[in-house]
Chains A and B, each alone.
Chain A
Amino acid sequence: MSYNYIELITLILLAIGCFFILSGSLGLIKLPDVFSRIHAAGLIDTLGSGFIVLALIIYSGFSLLSLKLLLIPIFLIFTSPVTGHAIALFAHESGYKPKGKNKK
């Protein structure tokens, strides 16, 4: 058996992360307006980067390096909603109406 388990798990997790990043990029092109595109960007920020960092942590084993890697998703958790909220608020304040049916 040429693979060991750690490499196999890393491969699977990297593939899942790449799939979410692909879906997010597709959504950025495909979805109709600014507000919907923020959802796609959020998908890349949370699930895409999350799975890839998880794969790298498993690959590097438990060391100082994996703790440093763990800091990346922690910072993303605090910064990514702020950027999404800033874009959404600015689009809303400047009078941009979301497409689709609205009930207030």
Chain B
Amino acid sequence: MAKPNKDSLKTLSFITYFIILFVFWFILSGYLKTLLLFFGVISVLFVFWMSYRAKALEEDSLPLKIILRLPFYWIWLFKEIFKSGITTTALIWNGKYSPQLITVKASQKNRTGIANYANAITLTPGTVTIEVDKKTFLVHALSKKLSEDLQTDDMNKVITDLDR
């Protein structure tokens, strides 16, 4: 496969964004008549034009490379959420929590990756990202075990690999 240049990559990401918007419109409406589908295309084009005008379609915000890996990542994330959710529930019921602040290093390269990592930490129950510096997060964890799980760096590696 030849190396794609920047413009064709951008066109591809525009097309993907258009398809995602139209699928979203179709799920919410469920109409199959031609006239209504035409109105749907018009409204999708309007949203597309507005987000283009708001410069929401830069390369960084719509990374095409990770879209195929996203389902696997979500399945992994659900597993993590479930595991730490069980731990947090046990902590709430038996009352053996010891809240603490820790700092975590992030090794993602672009802004999307860092936001993704910070959100993944907040999404797993028991850990909340409080402050994001350039490459370090200030994280509040509910117990020692949860903070040690985070400091093993597994989540960081998975999210860095997502963007390779």
For the side of the interface on A, what is the size category? 35 or more
Determine the residue in chain A with the shortest Cβ distance to B90: A23
- Contact status A100-B123, CB under 8 Å: no
In the assembled complex, B102 has its CB within 8 A of some CB on chain A: yes
Answer whether A84 and B88 are a contact pair too, CB < 8 Å, given A39-B142, A64-B30, A100-B98: no
Partner of B99, one of A35, A47, A84: A35
A40 to B128, CA, bound (A): 11
Q: Which residues of A contact B30 (CB under 8 A)?
A: 64
- Contact status A81-B89, CB under 8 Å: no
| Chain B 57-110 interface residues, beta-carbon cutoff 8 Å to A | 78, 81-82, 85, 88-89, 92-93, 95, 97-103
Q: Which residues of B contact A6 (CB under 8 A)?
A: none
In the assembled complex, B27 has its CB within 8 A of some CB on chain A: yes
- Contact status A47-B142, CB under 8 Å: no
| Chain A 5-59 interface residues, beta-carbon cutoff 8 Å to B | 20, 23-24, 26-27, 30-33, 35-36, 38-40, 42-43, 46-47, 50
Q: Which residues of A contact B129 (CB under 8 A)?
A: 81, 85, 88
Chain B interface main SS type: mixed
Determine the residue in chain B with the shortest Cβ distance to A25: B92
Q: Which residues of B contact A82 (CB under 8 A)?
A: 119
Q: Which residues of A contact B93 (CB under 8 A)?
A: 23, 26
Nearest Cβ distance between residue A73 and chain B, in whole angstroms?
Answer: 10
A68 to B24, CA, bound (A): 9
A39 to B98, CA, bound (A): 13
Partner of B123, one of A35, A46, A102: A46
Determine the residue in chain B with the shortest Cβ distance to A42: B125
- 22 CB contacts below 8 A, A to B, read A26-B92, A26-B93, A30-B95, A32-B99, A36-B99, A36-B140, A38-B140, A39-B125, A40-B88, A42-B122, A46-B81, A46-B123, A47-B81, A64-B27, A68-B27, A68-B28, A78-B119, A81-B120, A84-B122, A85-B118, A89-B131, A98-B100
Residues of A within 8 A of B (CB): 20, 23-24, 26-27, 30-33, 35-36, 38-40, 42-43, 46-47, 50, 64, 67-68, 71, 77-78, 80-82, 84-85, 88-89, 92, 98-104
